[in-house]
Amino acid sequence: MAASSSSEEGRGFEYDVFLSFRGEDTRKGFTGHLYYAMEEKGIHTFMDDEKLDKGESIKQLLGCIEKSKIFVPIFSKRFAESRWCLMEVAMMVQCQRLIIPVFFDVKPTHVRNQSGPFEAAFESHEKNKHLSKRTLQEWRDALRTVGEISGYVLETDTDG
């Protein structure tokens, strides 16, 4: 793996890129290939299954976001079902760094408007009494912000 330059370390960057993704959707496919391709090119990349042990806290994961220069959220059909994924995107927006979204079998409008598969996920989150309205609104705002960023749209479904 590539090491960060001393000037990057001075700014506190441990990773060049932070990948945010729904593991069961893309880990062994697109995200895994992207991770290894970037590492091969010397781009030091954070991918949660590689760097954190099972059971480690979201606080440690969010700390890795703060130590990353660029964020690549890979939005997929089940992305919004994960509270961790939504927390990651909210933190990315708070950090105000470069975000390069990938829309994997979802449309940018699904992310921006929480429609399609994102709508059902939010309906489920809204029923969770442990989640505050404020948290849900922060997640919606973050998705709206990132959904408006020009990114990469990848469609692999044959049924559209």
- Which residues are the active-site residues? 88
According to DSSP, residue 15 is labeled E
Location of structure tokens 């890129």: 17
Strands (DSSP E) contained in the chain are: 15-21, 45-46, 68-75, 98-99, 102-104, 152-154
86/1 Cα distance (integer angstroms): 28
63/94 Cα distance (integer angstroms): 13
**CB–CB of 99/65 below 8 Å?**
no
